[in-house]
Amino acid sequence: MSEASVAVHADADLLAQAVAVRLLVKLLDAQADRGEAAMVLTGGRIAAAVYRAVAQLPARDAVDWSRVDVWWGDERFLPAGDPERNETQARAALLDVVPLDPARVHPMPASDGPAGNDPEAAAAAYADELARAARPGHATLPHFDVLMLGVGEDGHVASIFPEHPVHYDTRPCSAVRGSPKPPAVRTTLTLPTINTAEEVWLVAGGADKARAVGMALAGAGPVQLPAAGVHGVDRTRWLLDRAAAADVPARLRSLR
């Protein structure tokens, strides 16, 4: 398991800009190494700011976007185009701005999609799509260069909530019913899938995230605090603003 590093930025705006720069560098490095890159997106306020910042950076044109695979860590099980879907947010902020290959953009199924209004079928369909993208002779998952996660006030990541049964699911993708945060029905990558990523970035801003971030870095149990149970194969990065880092021990912080 990789060790966690913590980078703290002065405020949410600088955090978003810094993550945007990191993301471009990571995609460029992956393409230099492998000829292609794969990123797993998240949703939320900070994520949207990151995507907008990427779209505004002149260096975005250094990335060959036609060789980037885009996946999602979780999704709200709503109709396509619903403004509450993570996909809708990401498309508006970044994906519709850069020249991606549509065949390499992999949104989680919508409630009005081919799987119908059945989140279990939607999760199974996404698992099948992941398997189709895996390299021949390898496991049932593609390579993820970077997987980004937000951190909820309760310590949830993706749509894995504290003490929810999905925590124990070992399938690649799972339906979530009874989410404590609306909407109640979602789909999510599971913890074993998340933890196959080369790098996992946990991005959090705001004082309302401080307690969860501090507890996760202090070694809380992953069932009670899912953010404590995620890690990258090579690197795990906590990318925070000062408010979110308020409860992080000073010895762990790298101030920017």
Q: What is the pLDDT of residues 26-83, one digit of tens each?
A: 999 999 999 999 999 999 999 999 999 999 999 999 999 999 999 999 999 999 999 9
Angle (deg, nearest 10), helices 45-56 and 12-34:
60
Q: In this structure, what CATH number is given to the domain that contains residue 132?
A: 3.40.50.1360
DSSP H or E run through 187: strand 186-189
* 58 burial via Cβ count (<10 Å: 0-12, 13-18, 19+): exposed
State how many domains the chain has.
1
Q: What residue numbers bound the domain in which 13 lies?
A: 4-252
Q: Return mean pLDDT, the chain.
A: 95
Question: 217, 252 in Cβ contact below 8 A?
Answer: yes
Residues paired with 71 in a beta bridge: 40
| Digit-coded pLDDT (tens) for 133-143 | 998 776 789 99
pTM above 0.85, yes or no: yes
pLDDT at residue 244, as a whole number: 98
For residue 103, what is the DSSP state?
G
